[in-house]
Structure 1
Amino acid sequence: MNKILVVNLMYIGDLLFATPFLRSLRQHYPEVQISLLVDEKNADVVRFNPNISEIIFIDKKGYHGKIQNFSRLIGNLRRRNYDLVINLHRNERSSALAAFSGGKRIIGFSKPGFSLFFDKVVEERKDIHQAQAYLEILKSVDIPIVDCGLEMWVDEKSTQAAAAMWQQAFRQADGSYPVIGLNTGGSWPTKRWTADGFAQLADQLLDKGYGVCFFGGSMDRQDVDVILQKVERVASPRIAIFTGKTTLLEMAALVKKCAVVVTGDSGPMHIAVSQRVPVITLFGPSDPVRYAPYQQQDAVILSARDCLRCGLHECQGHECMKEIGVDEVLKKISEKLTKNH
């Protein structure tokens, strides 16, 4: 065994879910070249992961969205002569890349049709966490599991940039008061808590003497602006807005400075988990069995609605998230702070 290709083209969380898989693979094959094929825009999540030898990029919605360029990528993979190709997602694009990669052995999840080219197709389990579902692929070929949780490494340049941003935002020595991170975004609108909820939470945290900072990408800035309009203590020196101002690596370094992060089911939630920060996650339409903060107990808040885990991206009522109260979140924050100090 000389070369292994792992295909994971999905989102931030999915790449982090793959890190126990990658550690286990590296432990079993310490001298093998392990290549990871990822979506270019999320590559920072694994850019400094020591368990992979190289990252191969795909621009799914841009350059490689054209069939001729996608075919050229497949040709490039075939010329690398991989001994083992492992596909971690059961969708058409990743299944096609694995199926036509020319790998001597191809295993993992597969869309029907492409599975004809696989040596071993693994059924994706829906009753366990997605990180564990990835590990099931290794178990199926008798590779031992080394599960140290989600992992994301941050370079020194990003760490220093984050430290400067934090100092400028709070003008304090670290630790003079706990800072609670708020991540308001979510890939589906239905995953997001209400603007009123986040605004009231921010005000009450500030009243209690905590610092508050907002995270998220540029796509979340409009929602954060709406929330800030509702925050009565928005002029407080203990509030900072990092939304849309950081790279993923800088976000990870900033999140690590927080005492607790309150978030919906999202990529930044899993980044916080990778940095060993206590997380409180508000779940509604997505399934906490598969996507909860990995290896964090008592991290999830759910309403009592019967429609939970519906998987809907749009919902007129959105009661599952509206019914989560600020007092419930504050109580959970207090419990996390007490437990970790």
Structure 2
Amino acid sequence: MKVLVIGPSWVGDMMMSHSLYRTMKAENPDTVIDVTAPAWCRPLLSRMSEVNEALAMPLGHGALEIGERRRLGKSLCAAGYDRAYVLPNSFKSALLPFFAAIPRRTGWRGEMRYGLLNDVRVLDKAAFPLMVQRYVALGCDKARIQHAQDLPQPLLWPKLAVGEDEKQATVASFSLNPQRPIIGFCPGAEFGPAKRWPHYHYATLAQRLIDQGYQVVLFGSAKDAETGEAILASVSEESRQHCCDLSGKTQLEQAVILLAACHAVISNDSGLMHIAAALDRPLIALYGPSSPDFTPPLSDKARVIRLITGYHKVRKGDAAECYHQSLIDITPERVLTELETLCLRLGV
């Protein structure tokens, strides 16, 4: 069977979709899986052995452009796909497999998709509380799978592989100290400061870790450069040689390899958090108003710190620099203790 998956447009969601590909391959090893995705996702898909080909989606996030989607769909007609799985819930995401005339097109009921999809699933959110469960459920027989506990067990979590040679070469290319274990910090997050642990807490933790003999590497996009600079400026001058700010200075492929080389990772709720989890790194995930009840880090080596319960609207908050109070209240001492306990339990 040949399958086309219309993939998500966010890093974290793309990582969680790997559970669907792993499950399909485990149940039918002969399945050929192609995934459409933005070009920047291809470094992730290239490390998923279950994916045959990553097909670039040239249209920007949110762009309708029906004519271009029709052209792209028609160009796929000759590929001979038997099924399509549409992971996003939007109308536009269902257009490509429809124009490609793929016989069976599966997705959750979304905005005006009847006709575009001919295998429409009605989502019971209580039955499938996690996003990863909803992705995997699409690949299963809907008559057999009514609840999350009906899914193949254990659930196959996302898993990225990086070779030791790649790690060593990439660490050297960024002139990192091979004698000091790396602790990765991922201080950015979408939706602004409300989902971010304060930069001054990251700086305090960085100083403590450097004093213990580690080096700290800051990961993020160019949008996180200001936060990275603030963290770097807040550690002592003599410690800055052991704190490397790579915000906006790496390609995603390089960031994946360097995260794989980390002794451990501290992260906000972000796409990089999900990558670190898939790389099986000891991980401390810091949550505020966003909830780990829907998109937690999928790893036995991850620990979540959150001081509030339930869902809270993501907003700027009332405190300095617009950080959410629940994240301000997570102290560097708490994170350091959790990290030391986790690493001791894992023997790393």
- Shorter-chain TM-score tier: 0.7 to 0.9
* 2:207 aligned residue (195, 199, 203): 203
Deviates more, 1:256-265 or 1:70-79: 70-79
- AA aligned to 1:10 is S
Aligned-partner Cα distance in 1 for 2:253–2:157: 18
**8 A Cα contact 1:46 1:153, kept in partner:** no
Once residues 97 and 158 of structure 1 are traced to their aligned partners in structure 2, the CA distance between those partners, rounded to angstroms, is: 36
Corresponding residue to 1:151 among 141, 155, 159 = 159
Pairing of 1:212-223 with structure 2 (within 5 A) = 212-223=216-227
CA contact (8 A) 2:91 2:110 kept: yes
Q: Secondary structure at the match of 1:286?
A: coil
Deviating more after overlay: 123-132 vs 179-188: 123-132
CA–CA separation in structure 2 for the residues paired with 1:295 and 1:62: 29
Q: What secondary structure is seen at the aligned counterpart in 1 of 2:176? A: helix
The question of 1:169 aligning with 2:176 is answered: yes
For 2:51, what is the secondary structure of its paired residue?
Answer: coil
Indicate yes or no: 2:288 matched with 1:284: yes
C-alpha contact 1:9 1:94 (8 A) present in aligned 2:
no
Label 1:233 to 1:280 Cα distance change in 2 as closer, same or farther (>3 A): farther
Contact 2:198/2:327 (8 A) holds in 1: yes
Secondary structure (helix, strand or coil) at the match of 2:336 reads helix
Match runs of 1:21-170 below 5 Å: 21-61=20-60, 66-124=65-123, 126-127=125-126, 128-141=129-142, 145=152, 147-154=155-162, 159=167, 161-165=169-173, 168-170=175-177
Pairing 1:225–2:244 present = no
* Alpha-carbon distance, 1:229 to partner: 1.9
Query: For residues 97-137 of structure 1, what are the alpha-carbon distances to aligned partners after superposition, in whole Å with 9 as ceiling and x for unaligned?
Result: 34444111111224132133323222445453322221122
C-alpha displacement of 1:90: 1.1
TM-aligned CA deviation for residue 183 of structure 1: 0.7
Indicate the residue corresponding to 2:326 in structure 1.
Answer: 320
2:139 alignment partner, SS class: helix
For residue 155 of structure 1, report the CA deviation from its aligned partner.
7.2
**CA, structure 1 residues 47+313, in 2 after alignment: closer, same or farther (shift >3 Å)?**
farther
Per the normalisation by structure 2, the TM-score is 0.86
Contact 1:228–1:234, Cα closer than 8 Å, also in 2: no
Shift in Å, 1:281:
0.7
What's 2:337 paired with? 331
Cα separation, 1, equivalents of 2:164 and 2:69:
34
Offset of residue 192 of structure 1:
1.1
Whole-Å separation in 2 of the counterparts to 1:119 and 1:67 = 19
Give the unaligned 5+ runs of structure 1. Answer: none
CA distance in 2, matches of 1:178, 1:237: 14
Query: For the Cα contact (< 8 Å) 1:48–1:155, is it kept in 2?
Result: no
The reply to whether residue 180 of structure 1 matches residue 183 of structure 2 is: yes
Out of 327-336 and 80-89, give the one that drifted further: 80-89
The DSSP-based 3-state class of the residue aligned with 2:293 is helix
Conserved in 2, the CA contact under 8 Å of 1:99 and 1:114? Answer: no
Paired residue for 1:310?
312
Decide whether aligned partners of structure 1 residues 234 and 251 sit closer, same or farther in structure 2, where only a CA change above 3 A counts.
farther
- More displaced, 309-318 or 5-14? 309-318
SS of aligned partner of 1:263: strand
Aligned residues: 333
Deviation at 1:261, TM superposition (A): 0.5
Identity level (%): 24
**Paired residue type of 1:152:** L
Match runs of 1:265-304 below 5 Å: 265-296=269-300, 299-304=303-308
CA change 1:99–1:71 in 2 (3 A) is: closer
Partner of 2:241: 237
Contact 2:107 2:119 in 1 (8 A): yes
Unaligned runs of 5+ in 2: 146-150
Q: Shift in Å at residue 29 of structure 1?
A: 3.2
After TM superposition, the structure 1 = structure 2 runs for residues 255-274 of structure 1, keeping only pairs within 5 Å, are 255-274=259-278
Aligned partner of 1:14 in structure 2 is 13
Pick closer, same or farther for the CA change 1:9–1:104 going to 2, 3 Å. same
Cα distance change on mapping 1:120 and 1:313 into 2, 3 Å: farther
What secondary structure sits across from 2:248 in the alignment? coil
On the 8 A contact 2:90/2:111 being kept in 1, the answer is no
Moved more, 59-68 or 26-35: 59-68
Query: Counterpart of 2:114 in structure 1: which amino acid?
Result: S
- Alpha-carbon distance change, 221 to 124 in structure 1, aligned in 2, over 3 angstroms: farther
Equivalent-residue separation in structure 1 for 2:252 and 2:98 (angstroms): 31
Q: Is the 8 A contact 1:5 1:35 kept in 2?
A: yes
